[in-house]
A and B are shown apart, each in its own frame.
Chain A
């Protein structure tokens, strides 16, 4: 094996590949199972965007909090939420991460610092300001990361949170996952300032744009921004330019996309393929090692689906449990 030219150890490279492969297979499987009618509710897939969640989450520990979006499966997996519990949750089973009552858009696992996917666009941003304020008050060097799409970034909640985080100098990183479409509206029709970095600047924090399909670009930029936040440097915004392989939601006919657009993106900007090619080409990882991970992940997903289908639905008596929390 050659000398490793990458900023990640071989173990970390394999770990990153495993995370990205797990997200990809998880989403590809949901795409199929949702079409078959096996899954209740709505599903928004993260396939194509794996490098972003993975590159950021590699810098976090369980004490760091994230607040996710409606497209949250990738964030959950990268933050370490159990894949079996996630699959069961999406299938609406009582063994799910939220006992089967949350579904795809409300997966949460506080033990992993995952405050929840969120069906309300832009709603994660104020939540993460609270978590970051708590970390700041405790002085435990914890950071909070919130994700929004290019659409939700126009929500008042997001803009107010930028202001609050800047005013209170909170250890927050606002990640804009810019896949070019707010549901079906291309961003140049809907974002006044045309640049998320400009938005950050307007609120008094630095903003950085990276190629969100390049794991190393995300990892490098996120590392610097997160370290800055931990060190008391305050909030920052990271815009990741990325691609969405599926529709806004499963069942979306995607008539707003050019013919052949998705195929072209899959051929040229598949973050998983690009990572694999680079580490193999550099001689750091053997292709067989990646294939072994592929097989293990395939087994994991298959087992998660099997277990989810075999698990019971929540009992009717649980209808009103976990609905309110008493403090």
Chain B
């Protein structure tokens, strides 16, 4: 059976208050549609004939359809056939959950995701063993790599068409499972769980550092921004090593306790903030951590998602190899080494 690629494109990411409190990017719907057309062209170039797309009313679809119609009118076979997942549209994260579930059940070989960390998190919650190819169209975006979507599309196309061996094409990723009251409520984070003292969701984004108390990250990369940057500037932890990092935080205005320090970190685009760091330690996989914060809000991948009180029992557990992603760099290096984009026979390098 020819592989089908799923596409989840969130029309509403990158719309939050960080455009005012920081100077975050605004990515217009037409730009999202153009990104999608680039991905589609790349998939087609690798031989993918069919994609399954999440329906939405945010405007991406209509702009993409214009691009497809123009190509058809010009006689170009640039794009795969697009099939919309048959589902009602609610305009909420439930759409992403439902579309991903249906793509998995339909046997999608991979799911290309356009969105921020939040969109990727929603897909990861439902994708099972189907690998994700992430494209950043959100605000902080520690999870999806920042790269030209055409390349992500090419790598995904090569991976699903079997042109790259699976052990190179895909790789495992960590996540943190959040459980409240022994599993009565569960959620997950792909990059970070932050516990803050604000007990309201409000405008969701995190920027008031005086309220930060605890941070748990799956990986700590000094090259990203957001909450993960705090951990990344203390003790880097790679995406592909086991376990993560746990950091205890305190208001920067107060002198941290013995051994503590003040860290300056880019917690949002263009926003360097001073953060009191009490201490940090490794967070091994499969060990449940019980936060010390008695009440406040849980922020998942940089956005406040739910509040909790002293009556609620929280538990956080990091899982290795929780879901798979397309290894874009690995696929493209393999393609270069094996001349996947040249006509056979492979040309000889001038170095020989």
Report A's interface with B, CB cutoff 8 A: 5-7, 188, 193-195, 197-198, 200-202, 206-210, 214, 216-217, 219-221, 224-225, 228, 236, 239, 278, 281-282
Pair B197/A5 contact, Cβ less than 8 Å: yes
* Interface Cβ pair total, 8 Å cutoff: 90
Supposing A5-B198, A217-B201 touch, asked if A208 and B16 sit within 8 A by C-beta, the answer is yes
Is B163 an interface residue, CB under 8 A from the partner? no
Minimum Cβ distance to chain A for residue B86 (Å): 18
Bound form: Cα–Cα A164–B82 in Å:
41
Minimum Cβ distance to chain B for residue A26 (Å): 27
Pair B58/A207 contact, Cβ less than 8 Å: no
Contacts of A207 in B (CB 8 A): 15, 19, 26
CB within 8 A of B199: which of A6, A198, A208, A209?
A6
Q: Which of B170-197 contact A (CB under 8 A)?
A: 197
Supposing A207-B19, A217-B204, A221-B203 touch, asked if A194 and B295 sit within 8 A by C-beta, the answer is no
Minimum Cβ distance to chain A for residue B163 (Å): 36
Q: Which 6 A-B pairs have the closest CB atoms?
A: A194-B59, A5-B199, A209-B15, A206-B19, A220-B202, A220-B203
Contacts of B204 in A (CB 8 A): 217
Minimum Cβ distance to chain B for residue A284 (Å): 9
CB within 8 A of B29: which of A198, A208, A209, A210?
A198
Pair B20/A216 contact, Cβ less than 8 Å: no
Supposing A5-B295, A194-B59, A195-B29 touch, asked if A214 and B17 sit within 8 A by C-beta, the answer is no
Binding site secondary structure of chain B: loop
Pair B17/A224 contact, Cβ less than 8 Å: yes
Is B57 an interface residue, CB under 8 A from the partner? yes
Minimum Cβ distance to chain B for residue A258 (Å): 11
Report B's interface with A, CB cutoff 8 A: 11-12, 15-17, 19-21, 26, 28-30, 57-59, 62, 197-204, 295-296, 307, 309
CB within 8 A of B15: which of A195, A214, A219, A228?
A195
Contacts of B62 in A (CB 8 A): 194
Pair B198/A214 contact, Cβ less than 8 Å: no
Contacts of A210 in B (CB 8 A): 16-17, 203
Contacts of B16 in A (CB 8 A): 208-210
Bound form: Cα–Cα A202–B31 in Å:
12
A-B contact pairs, 19 of them (CB 8 A): A5-B296, A6-B199, A193-B28, A193-B29, A194-B29, A194-B57, A195-B11, A195-B28, A195-B58, A201-B26, A207-B19, A208-B17, A208-B19, A208-B203, A214-B202, A216-B202, A221-B17, A224-B203, A236-B20
CB within 8 A of A201: which of B11, B28, B57, B200?
B28
Bound form: Cα–Cα A216–B202 in Å:
5
Pair B28/A5 contact, Cβ less than 8 Å: no
Bound form: Cα–Cα A223–B271 in Å:
18
- What residue in chain B is nearest A233 (Cβ atoms)? B20
Bound form: Cα–Cα A202–B201 in Å:
29
Pair B15/A208 contact, Cβ less than 8 Å: yes
- What residue in chain B is nearest A196 (Cβ atoms)? B15
Contacts of B202 in A (CB 8 A): 7, 214, 216-217, 219-221
Pair A7/B200 contact, Cβ less than 8 Å: yes
Bound form: Cα–Cα A69–B81 in Å:
45
Minimum Cβ distance to chain A for residue B332 (Å): 32
Pair A206/B197 contact, Cβ less than 8 Å: no
- What residue in chain A is nearest B60 (Cβ atoms)? A194
Bound form: Cα–Cα A188–B11 in Å:
13
Pair B198/A7 contact, Cβ less than 8 Å: yes
Minimum Cβ distance to chain B for residue A115 (Å): 24
Supposing A5-B295, A188-B57, A197-B26 touch, asked if A216 and B15 sit within 8 A by C-beta, the answer is no
Contacts of B309 in A (CB 8 A): 281-282
- What residue in chain A is nearest B21 (Cβ atoms)? A224
Bound form: Cα–Cα A7–B304 in Å:
14
Bound form: Cα–Cα A300–B185 in Å:
42
Contacts of A188 in B (CB 8 A): 57, 59
Contacts of B295 in A (CB 8 A): 5
- What residue in chain A is nearest B198 (Cβ atoms)? A5
CB within 8 A of A198: which of B17, B26, B198?
B26
Pair B28/A225 contact, Cβ less than 8 Å: no
Bound form: Cα–Cα A224–B204 in Å:
13
Contacts of A228 in B (CB 8 A): 20
Bound form: Cα–Cα A5–B295 in Å:
9
Bound form: Cα–Cα A5–B16 in Å:
22
Minimum Cβ distance to chain A for residue B292 (Å): 16
Minimum Cβ distance to chain B for residue A12 (Å): 13
Minimum Cβ distance to chain B for residue A179 (Å): 13
